[in-house]
Amino acid sequence: MKKSQEYLISTIGLLGVIIAILSILYESNNLALVSSIIAIAAIAVSMYFVYIEEEEIKVEKKEIKEEQHEINEQKEELTKDESESSEKHKEVRKKSK
C-alpha cells in the first residue's frame, strides 16, 4: 500500500474521531454514532494493512534466509572443489618430478 493511501485512511479515522467527540459535546447522538463507526472502520483498515505488510516482510526475510543458505552451500561446494583440484595439482606435480 502506498504511503499516500495510508495517510488518507489515517486522516479519515482521525476526522471520524474528532467528529465523534464534537458530536458528543453537542449532544448529536446519531452523528456521533456514524462518525464513530467511520473512525473504527478506518482504524481497522489501517491495522489490517499494517498486518499485511508485516506478513510480507516475514515472507521476504524467510526467502532471503533460504537464498543465503543456498549461497553458503554453493560456497562450501566451491571450496571443496578448489581443495580437491589443488590436491590433484600437487599430485600431478609430484608425479612429473
Q: Is 28 left (phi over 0), alpha (psi -120 to 50) or beta?
A: beta
Q: What integer pLDDT is reported at residue 97 of this predicted model?
A: 62
Q: Count CA within 13 A, CB hemisphere, residue 82.
A: 6
Q: Cell numbers 526467502 label which residue?
A: 63
Residue 88: is its pLDDT beyond 80? Answer: no
pLDDT of residue 66: 95
For 1-49, how does the pLDDT look when each residue is reduced to its tens digit (9 = 90+)? 677 777 777 788 788 778 878 777 777 777 777 877 888 888 888 888 8
Q: What is the mean pLDDT of residues 56-79?
A: 93
